Amino acid sequence: MFTGIITDIGSVKAISGEGDVRFDINTAFVMDDVAIGASIACAGVCLTVIEKDEGWFAVQASDETLQKTTLGDWQADTKINLERALKLGDELGGHIVSGHVDGVAHVVSTQAIGDSMKIDFEAPRDLAAFIAQKGSATIDGVSLTVNDVDDCLFSVNIIPHTQSETTLGQLIKGDRVNLEIDVLARYVARLNSMNG
């Protein structure tokens, strides 16, 4: 379980493997505090630490993960939003994030508004109904408030802090991002379908 509050921007150090792909990821995390088997959200995808040393850790991604997320696009030096798993007693500053990416959205446009940046995304049609104005969505692991929704299009505003402390400030038109819908929206939709 995560909160969508990014605590490091890592980068891909190395990629290897053909079936399951191994990613070695550079990080500023103190790896002495991270156990083998621990979960780290990497661009919003919950992955398991399989090896580590000072300044880096390794994870594996299955073909399913590569197909359903942006991990298949990663190359050496790709920047990645990182968040360690929530611990009991930690502040829940964002919203409840599972690290189970629902699909890939696309950047439609970006626009500077004051010091902030407005980003318009297009969600996959099967996920659009789960995105609500003033609701929460997770983009590349970042907890965000949805400003506007129009069919499959939705927009968010990125304040300067978020622009500098995550990878979202570097997004441009056409970029693909990992999208996780709000877990509460998922359960409300399920209840409605059973009662309807």
Q: Where in the chain is the domain with CATH 2.40.30.20?
A: 8-84, 103-195
Q: Could you confirm whether domain 103-195 is CATH 3.40.50.2300?
A: no
Q: What band does 1 get if pLDDT is binned at 50, 70 and 90?
A: confident
Checking if the pLDDT of 189 tops 80, the result is no
Q: What is the pLDDT of residues 11-22, one digit of tens each?
A: 999 999 978 999
Q: What is the pLDDT of residues 168-187, one digit of tens each?
A: 999 999 999 999 998 777 76
Q: What is the pLDDT of residues 110-160, one digit of tens each?
A: 999 999 999 999 999 999 999 999 999 999 999 999 999 999 999 999 999
Q: What is the pLDDT of residues 7-55, one digit of tens each?
A: 999 999 999 997 899 999 999 999 999 999 999 999 999 999 999 999 9
Is the pTM for the entire model greater than 0.75? yes
CATH of region 8-84: 2.40.30.20
The full 3-state SS of the chain, as one line of letters, equals CECCCCCEEEEEEEEECCCCEEEEEECCCCHHHCCCCCEEEECCEEEEEEEEECCEEEEEECHHHHHHCCHHHCCCCCEEEEEECCCCCCCCCCCCECCCCCEEEEEEEEEEECCEEEEEEECCHHHHCCCCCCCEEEECCEEEECCEEECCEEEEEECHHHHHHCCHHHCCCCCEEEEEECHHHHHHHHHHHHHC
Q: What is the pLDDT of residue 91?
A: 67
